[in-house]
Amino acid sequence: MPAQDICVVMPTIREYEAIAAYAENARTHGFDTDRLFVVLVTEDWCETDEMEQLLDDEGLAGAVFDATAREQWFREQGIAEYEHLIPAGSHAQTSFGLLYLWANERFEYGVFLDDDTRPHEDVDFFGTHLVNLAYEGEMPAVESDEDWVNVLYQSDHDLYPRGYPYSAMDEDWTESTERVDSVVASQGLWTNVPDLDAVRILMDGDLDGQAQTRTIPDDFGPDFVARPGNYLTVCSMNLAFRREVVPAFYQFPMDDNPWDVGRFDDIWSGLLLKRAADVLGKQLYNGAPLCAHNKAPRSTFGDLANEVAGLELNEHVWEIVDDAGADADSYREVTRAVADELLAADADNWENGEFLAYCGDHLHDWLDCLAELEDPTAQKQPVAADGGSRGS
């Protein structure tokens, strides 16, 4: 039997059947699903029994973690004091999947999926991500005069993705060639509904949270990297990564916080990851495999209400990250340096500036939690939602 080395994390409250489409894609392309362990992160009021049954029906090893099961897992690992790292009712609960991966040393890779996505049938989804992570060779490298790369720069639609700073728009970008030899994350992009923020969706003329514009495979050119010193939006709906990045990949504690800052959890974690990659001489691969983003209609103004508390901070947090950890030699050191910079930031400079120190504290707690999980005396058996273990 092959090693079970890939932890697939999908937050879901309704469309959990998405995981069946990814399993079918793997079987169609000859990718061994025995390598996969699926962690479904959900809520107590969701259909956890049906989720477990789906995993069984698809022949997938995995576990379903609602809030109660997550609390039990924290207790069994002896890290209950760190439960606050996983915000309630937030997409940032994907951080729980990172903890689960870290606690189980057999996992060499992680994959983040969203339940409103589907793989393209003609592409080996998991296989392509692993090829990207192993890639060594020349590839396009993009940079701009604003130190930001728009991951949709190849499209003719003039779109900017969720999390791209407004102050960095209308950039002049250049493309060169770079030797890539140490890829630590593979970001697949998306067709159909683009991943935009609410303001940009409104500008595109849509009140249903989607945008009028749709993307197709022809909107994307060759795969690429962003040059060192340049940032880009990292979206967790279609993302594979190496185990080593977990200390610098905490999904920031959005939504469930006193300032109601939300919707930037994966964006800010991507800033931290890109900074660590630049400092350590690593790369983030972008492009294939594409997935179809089938975002359900919802109020654009509802999304705007969730985003507005953090919009000003998002214009500046990358500048704070960019000053941190220049002499670091590990992901932990970069994260610690970023945490210290966030704690030292002047909260009076921006709306909800106090949230930055809140994030700095959480980053320090994240590193402490990972350190405790590495304790060889800690219990590390996977715990399923019903308190049992499956697929271990």
The pLDDT of residue 26: 98
The model's pLDDT over 117-171, given as tens digits with 9 standing for 90+, comes to 999 999 999 999 999 999 999 999 999 999 999 999 999 999 999 999 999 999 9
Q: Would you tell me the crossing angle of helices 18-28 and 48-57 to the nearest 10 degrees? A: 10
**Sheet arrangement for strand 225-226:** 173-180, 137-144, 225-226
Distance CA 248, CA 202 (A): 33
DSSP string of 297-314?
A: P--HHHHHHHHHHHHHHH
317 phi, psi to nearest 5 deg: -60, -30
375 — pLDDT class (breaks 50, 70, 90) = confident
Question: What is the end-to-end Cα distance of the chain in Å, rounded?
Answer: 13
The average confidence (pLDDT) of the chain is: 94
Which residues are bridge partners to 179 per DSSP? 138
Task: Match domain 6-373 to its CATH number in 1.10.357.10, 3.90.550.10, 3.30.300.30, 3.90.1150.10.
Answer: 3.90.550.10
The pLDDT of residue 3: 84
CB 276 within 8 A of CB 269: no
Amino acid letter, 17: E
Which tokens hold the place of 198?
């609410």
The pLDDT of residue 390: 32
- Given a cut of 90, whether residue 377 has pLDDT beyond it is no
Contacts of 373 (CB under 8 A, 6+ apart): 77, 79, 99, 102, 103, 380
391 — pLDDT class (breaks 50, 70, 90) = very low
In 3D, which of 241, 239, 226, 234 has the Cα closest to residue 272?
234
Is the full-model pTM beyond 0.85? yes
Distance CA 275, CA 304 (A): 28
In 3D, which of 213, 224, 215 has the Cα closest to residue 173?
224
Domain ranges, ordered by start, for the chain: 6-373
- Given a cut of 80, whether residue 237 has pLDDT beyond it is yes
108 phi, psi to nearest 5 deg: -95, -20
The model's pLDDT over 26-70, given as tens digits with 9 standing for 90+, comes to 999 999 999 999 999 999 999 999 999 999 999 999 999 999 999
